[in-house]
Amino acid sequence: MFLLSAAGTLNGLILAIYLFFSRKNKSVSGIFLAFLLLMLSIRIGKSVFLYFSSDLLHIYLQIGLSACLFIGPALYCYTHASFTHYERIPRAWLVMLGLLLFLVIAAGTAFPYQYHPGAWNRVIIPYIIYGEWLVFQLITLFVLWKNRQEAVKKPLVTSVVIGNFLIVLAYILAILNWIPGSYILGAIMYSFILYISLFMVINKRKLEKQEETDKYQNRKIAEKDALPIINRLENTITAANLYRDPELKLNNLAQKLNIPAHQLSQVLNDNLGKSFSTFINEYRINEAAERILREPHIKIEEIGYEVGFNSKSAFFIAFKKIKNTTPLKYREQRTDL
C-alpha cells in the first residue's frame, strides 16, 4: 500500500518538474497543470508519510496542509485556461495567488502547527483548508459543466477535475470519520488518477498523430503549397551545410522546418520525385565532385567522409549512381579536359 500510494506522489512530482521546464509546455493551462501536480504531490506525500509514520515533523505537516490551499485555485486556473486559451496568465490570477501565498506565510508564522495543533485540527484544517479546496472544486465543476461540449474533446481536463473531486472527498470523509481508511484512500486514488491521465495523454497523442498521418496519406501536396516548403528546405540544407552531418535523419530535418515528418517525405517523394537519402546524397556528391577537382591533393575517401558519408563504399555507390562514374574516373576525365 505504501509503494502504491508513494509511487503516484513521486511520479507526480517528477512530472510537475518536467512540465515546468519543458519547452513544449508554454501554455497557461500547462503551467497550472504543473503547479497543480506539484501542490498535490506535496499534499499527498505528507499523507503517505504520516499514515505510515506518526513521527513526521510538525513543519512537514504544516507544509503539506498549506499546499491544500493552492490545489483548488490551481485546479480552477488550469480548467479555465484549458477552455479559454489565454496567451499569458491573467493579472487577477497572479494577484490571487500572491495574496494567498502571503496569507499562508503570515498565518503559518503566527499560528504554527507545532504550537497550535488544536486550532489547526479543529478549525484551520476542516473549515479553512478543506473548505477553500471544496469551494474551488465546486466552482471548477461548474466551469467544466459550462464547457461540457468542448470538454468531450478534452478528456484529460475532465479526468483531472473529477479526480480532484474524488481526492478531496476522500479527505473530507476521513475528517468526518465516516469511512475507515479513507485518509490513505486519497493518496491511492491520486496514484490511479495520475496513471490513468498519463495513459489518456499518450493515447490521445497517438491518435492525433495517426489522424494527421491519414490526412496526408495518398494525397499529393499542391505545387503552390509545396513550393514554399521546397524553398525553405533548400535554404535550410545549404545555410549550415546540414547534409554534411552523417547522422542527419528525415525527422531531424522536419523538426528544423517545423513541419510533420510525413509531410516532408511527401514533398520529397511526390513533388521532387526523390527519396530522402537521394535528396541529401545529391548535395553531398555535388560538393564532393567540386572538391575532387579543386583539391587534387586530398584523398578522395577523405572528401567522401567530409561531405557526410560514413563509409567509403556508401560514398562510391552514391557517386556512381548520381554521376554515372566513379570518383577516381571523374577526377581523371575532368583533369584531362
Orientation of helix 182-216 relative to helix 2-21, angle to 10°: 50
2-214, CATH topology level: Rhopdopsin 7-helix transmembrane proteins (1.20.1070)
Tell me: pLDDT of 209 over 90.
no
Are 179 and 167 in contact by the 8 Å Cβ rule? The answer is: no
Per-residue pLDDT at 152 exceeds 60? yes
pLDDT in tens, 274-313: 999 999 999 999 999 999 999 889 999 999 999 999 889 8
**Whether the predicted pLDDT of 111 surpasses 80:** yes
Q: Domain locations in the chain?
A: 2-214, 223-336
> Which superfamily does CATH assign the domain made up of 223-336 to?
Homeodomain-like (1.10.10.60)
Query: Which residues neighbour 76 within 8 Å (Cβ) at sequence distance 6 or greater?
Result: 136, 139, 140, 143
Looking at the chain, the whole-number percentage of residues with pLDDT higher than 70 is 78
Closest CA to 317 of 272, 284, 295: 284
Residue type, 288: A
Cell numbers representing residue 295 in the block:
583539391
Say what angle helices 155-176 and 130-146 make with each other, to 10 degrees.
150
